Chain A
Amino acid sequence: MTDNSLPATKMSARDVHVYYGATHAIKGVSIDVDQENVTAFIGPSGCGKSTFLRTLNRMNDTIPIARVEGDITLDGENIYSPAMDVVQLRARVGMVFQKPNPFPKSIYENVAYGPRIHGLAPVKSDMDRVVEQSLRRAGLWEEVKDRLHDSGTALSGGQQQRLCIARAIAVDPEVILMDEPCSALDPIATAKIEELIHELRGRYAIVIVTHNMQQAARVSQRTAFFHLGHLVEYGVTSDIFTNPRQERTKDYITGRYG
């Protein structure tokens, strides 16, 4: 593949609308998320970043009043078609949440849970390998290898969030969605997560929601700016930050509102 060819599209949304009862939260968003890059969703709070992110692995299904219209595909397959199994979809499109939410179980169990329910590592030695590999990729192995059987909730906030990333990685997803993964963390823990995102780039398609524009500039190659439920502008991150085409994007980036 040459440099000037378009990167392979992993997920693609066409004219997506999301309603919470009568609230129209996402208004006709179309976007392509590609395989090699980290895509950042930015925008003022309440503009629908989380809502749109959650349509990508159908986490909105758990909200009774939420209704999704439009087409979203993963590798060309419509994820809202009846043929799509939502459980498998969520294994293929993993998620990391705003607040670290490890299970109140051991570190090992946190990571092993996903592979176990999907039958990915039936033998104990396989499972040990999966756990170690996932923790290594999440940059947590060295810190926890001697206390794998301590509770995951006893870790620091930043470690907990990396444990949640390891948990997502353990089921071997194709896409990882992160919803403001650093908003509950201190700057040092944030830096570690950002570094980790760099390392994971390429292996997984990554979509990260952030309200921190510097963070978007640091970790992403593509940026989408949302405002009041609309996708205002989407493009290469450096272009968005240095040369926005839309007035609203410019206003947001220059801090006129937020």
Chain B
Amino acid sequence: MSQAPDHAPTMQRLNLVQRITPFVPALLVPLIALLGLLFIPSGSSWLTLTVSGLAMGMMIFIMAAGLTLIFGLMDVINFGHGAFISVGAFVGVTVLLLVPGMTAAPSVGLNLVAVGLAVIAAMLATGVMGVVFERVIVRPVYGAHLKQILITVGGLIVIEQLIHVFWGPDEIFLTRPETLKGAITFAGAALEKYRLLAVGVGLVVFLAMRHVLRHTKLGLIVRAGVENGEMVQALGYDIKRVFVLVFVAGSALAGLGGVMWALYQEVITAHMGGQMLILVFIVIIIGGLGSVEGCFIGALMVGLLQNYTAFLVPKLALVSNIGLMMLILMWRPQGMIPVVKAK
């Protein structure tokens, strides 16, 4: 039998630039942190702001991770995603308000159970909403971006109004569970406990997503589908079903993000999700549409930059992030970790 010739590659040592290039996006996060250190006069304020920026970044990542895959996989632009954030917050907060005994108790265990219940309720609610939203609103407009934008913005508005119907038009205030209040002091800096928890949860969500995407068949299908959905179908996988799964998982994650954001801000409004969408879109655009890793890195950059500039020049906080987006797009027009699309 004949054989294709095998050319064993002769490995040459890459120079420093070549070796670093793949890590440049990830290195931008510490770079921004270092820049912050340069401009912020006191080390302890810097540390406080950095933790707060990372916490914010993690929460934005959780809200955005599903959306980037939804776009990558089916080319669907979904402004309705903001509604899942708001609904998640309202459902979660409602649960927390139902168990005042558990949240007020000075017990880490009870507090975490209360938060856990709130999270489960929020994710269930937004997951179910995701099923309905995909079916009723998104499916009829596959492939038509303008219609997608119009109808999903419509969906967002309708759901915000429904929140007013169920929960009333006013914002709802809440306080964090007892043991998540306050801060610990580390190296002279006050680090809010809740922010540390948020960083932990964000990391766990990111690592779990990465694991699924890298090491499961479903993850392979999703990654391949982002690149070339047609070929995935030709191999025998029903990409529409996979898309529904991703849509629902993304919606549930948005719900989780909503609860976390509610506990962070200690106040919720029907419009909170819509307002977060600006940062969410910035993050998925600079990350590279369809890239979960890019989204993660982008979210951390945005979170840090937002907190540093809010401290230094409060008026520039949002502008700085739009500036960041423009810089990144000038450097890499497809985002930091571009997904190679077929065709």
Decide if A and B are genuine partners: no
